Amino acid sequence: MSERIIRKQEIVDDPWQVLRLTSGESAETVPLPAGPVLLPLAVWLARRDEALRRYEQPGVWLDSDEGPEMLADDCRRFAVIGINFPKFTDGRGYSSARLLRERYHYAGEIRAIGDVLQDQLFLMQRCGIDAYAVRADKDIEQALAGLRAFSENYQAAADQPLPLFRRRAKHAA
């Protein structure tokens, strides 16, 4: 099984699955599927050793109320960390992504999952998200344009270590 996602600036086929607990399933007992898979944080926390044995490349996803501090130093172990946007108006994931990149120096892939839409991609990219599982009912080719909304930005963020005022000063010098 594979799914089309945007990675960096391209549409690619991607094998990662997202494990979501359905009601009645518990983190302790849910069967771990064959990889590659993004595990819910609760599963990772409950069964870290088992997951490390089972997967060569473990993956995990954070919900919007779960911060990267819950992974802390573990984060370097992951090839992919998913950040879930339960609704596109829930902006907590932007902070999570920046913290992963700028505080925990996580260098692997950060993938937006959930309610991922064209008009948020640019912001996500700025916060350090570099893969986007665009919502299945949307045209992913069209969504790609969202990454190019602006050619310059005022703030420093995960994609640009210097705010415009430091770069403007250089222009003038």
Partner 1 sequence: MYRYDSIDQQIIDERVAQYRDQIARHLAGDLSTDELRPLRLQNGLYIQRHGPMLRIAIPYGMLAATQLRKLAEISQRYDRGVGHFTTRQNMQLNWPQLEQTPAILGELARVEMHAVQTSGNCIRNITTDQFAGVAPDELTDPRPYCELLRQWSTFHPEFAFLPRKFKIAVNAAATDRAVIRAHDIGLELLRDEGGEIGVRIFVGGGLGRTPILGKVIREFLPRRHLLSYLEAILRVYNRYGRRDNMYKARIKILVQALGIDDFRRQVEAEWAHLKDGPTTVPDTEFARIAAHFAPPAWENLPAVDELHAARVAGDLAFANWVRRCVHPHRTPGYAAVTLSLKAPGAAPGDISDTQMLVVADLADRFSFGELRVTHEQNVVLADVRLRDLHEVWQIARRHRLATANIGLLTDIICCPGGDLCALANARSVPIADAVNEKFDDLDYLFDIGDISLNISGCMNSCGHHHVANIGILGVDKNDEEWYQITVGGQQGNAAAIGKVIGPSFHAHEVPLVIEALVTVYVEQRLPSERFIDTLQRVGIEPFKARAYAGRDRRRGARQENREVVNV
163 lines the binding site for partner 1 (CB under 8 A): yes
How far is Cα 32 from Cα 89, in angstroms, rounded to an integer?
31
Of 42, 74, 95, 108, the residue at the interface with partner 1 (CB under 8 A) is 95
Q: Should residue 155 be labelled a site residue for partner 1 when binding is judged by CB under 8 A?
A: yes
Measured between alpha carbons, how far is 5 from 111 in angstroms, rounded to an integer? Answer: 9
Distance of closest approach, residue 78 Cβ to partner 1, in angstroms:
21
Q: 100-129: which residues touch partner 1 (CB under 8 A)? A: 103, 117, 119-120, 122-124, 126-127
Build a one-symbol-per-residue string for 1-40: x at contacts with partner 1 by CB under 8 A, - elsewhere.
----------------------------------------
Sheet order of strands, 109-114 included = 10-14, 3-7, 131-132, 109-114, 80-85, 59-62, 37-40, 17-18
Does 164 sit near partner 1 (CB under 8 A)? yes
Q: How far is the CB of 170 from partner 1 (least distance, A)?
A: 11
Q: Find all residues with CB under 8 Å of 161, minimum gap 6, and list them.
A: none
Among positions 26, 50, 91, 107, the unique one binding partner 1 when judged by CB under 8 A? 91
Instruction: Give whole-number Cα distances, 73 to 49, 76, 78, 122, in Å.
Output: 15, 6, 11, 28
161 part of the interface to partner 1, by CB under 8 A: yes
Q: Minimal distance in Å, beta carbon 43 to partner 1?
A: 22
Of 112, 131, 125, which is closest to residue 10 (Cα–Cα)?
A: 131
- H helices of the chain, in order, are 41-46, 48-54, 92-98, 118-126, 140-143, 164-172
Q: Which of 10, 28, 49, 152 binds partner 1 (CB under 8 A)?
A: 152
Secondary structure class of 143 (helix, strand, coil): helix
Residues making contact with partner 1 (CB under 8 A): 67, 88-92, 94-95, 98, 103, 117, 119-120, 122-124, 126-127, 138-139, 142, 145, 149-157, 161-166, 168-169
